[in-house]
Amino acid sequence: MTDFATAMQRWTVGAATITSVVEDQVDIPTGFLFPEATEADVLRHPWLVPDWADETGTVQLRTQAFVVQIDGLTVLVDPCVGNGKVRWIPAWNDLDMPFLERLADAGCTPPDVELVLHTHLHADHVGWDTHKRGDDWVPTFTGARHLYTEAELDFARTSGLAGEDVYGDSIAPIFDAGLGEVVMPDADLGHGMRLEFTPGHTPGHTSLWIESDGEVALITGDFMHHPLQFAEPQIAEIADADAELARHTRARMLREMARTGALVLGTHFPSRPAGRVKVDGNAWRFYPE
């Protein structure tokens, strides 16, 4: 476990700022996250140690949201697992994390949030949208528009794991409260923000481009999970719904990240989640900032 909770990480993109708000960061056996990979695959790329993996080749994975302040707007992207949710993955079940306190430390309280974006609707990207009041799940960001794509809503309704109800506890209450809105997966959101359709991990997955004063950033979501995938882009993640399409998307986006020179923020990247992508032999390398 790192000291992630004490050090705030914030980046500037032109006149915009992007702040990481961490829910948790854990060590994870490489072969659990990436069934086709081993610790030896990690150690073939010494630049991954120590920022994103340890000297045994075990990778770390972070759950974090990003707060984007741009053009006078406060935007929250992918609000993590949430507290008290019944979840199939033990590390996500019935959490009790000081996420909202860390959000406040980042200068943002729930009433400040005007827009909530979801790259996709897996349990670790929608959790803080609701919290428990009595027996009910109620919206946390009551003044915010929450954006979704139709394909993700369909997938979330039909792909739930036994024993958990992500749609029921974290999505339906937002629409019931009139705070939900469906957008196209390549929607121009204005204020320098644009979605890009990046399917594969899930059918309606999107990523977020942010542009301010000529500078560009990209919040990946889960078309990548870890910097190992810069060096080994073919490696699929365990939850990729369509691994072949995810590979295709990753290859396309890697070229885009390098071409644009964007500041790339990896939604699950641990410790040093932001950096730039450059060609490295037949693959790519991530240079943290």
Stretch that binds Zn ion, among 65-73, 97-105, 158-166, 215-223 (CB under 5 A): 215-223
Q: Which two tokens stand for residue 234?
A: 């073919």
CA distance 194 to 60: 29
The residue whose Cβ lies closest to Zn ion is 122
Out of 196, 211, 222, 240, point to the residue binding Zn ion (CB under 5 A). 222
111 CB neighbour count, 10 Å cutoff: 12
Nearer to Zn ion, 68 or 70 (CB): 68
Subset of 108-127 contacting Zn ion (CB under 5 A): 122, 124
Q: Is 24 in the site for Zn ion (CB under 5 A)?
A: no
Contact region with Zn ion (CB under 5 A), list: 14-22, 27-35, 217-225, 281-289: 217-225
Element (H, E) at 190: strand 188-190
Site of tokens 């700022």:
17
Radius of gyration of the chain (CA): 18
The Cα 98–Cα 225 span in angstroms is 23
The CB-of-239 to Zn ion minimum distance in angstroms stands at 5
* Residue span binding Zn ion (CB under 5 A) among the ranges 82-90, 98-106, 155-163, 220-228: 220-228
* Closest separation in Å from C-beta 261 to Zn ion: 26
> Measured between alpha carbons, how far is residue 139 from residues 76, 98, 123 in Å?
14, 17, 15
Cβ proximity to Zn ion: between 61 and 217 the closer is 61
Q: Please tell me the distance from the alpha carbon of residue 250 to that of residue 58, in angstroms, as a whole number.
A: 22
Q: Is 196 in the site for Zn ion (CB under 5 A)?
A: no
Q: What's the min distance (Å) between Cβ of 191 and Zn ion?
A: 25
3-state SS assignment for residue 25: strand
- By CB under 5 A, is residue 102 in contact with Zn ion? no
Task: Give the nearer residue to Zn ion in terms of CB position, either 91 or 279.
Answer: 91
Question: Cβ–Cβ contacts within 10 Å for residue 240, how many?
Answer: 22
Contacting residues toward Zn ion, per CB under 5 A? 122, 124, 222
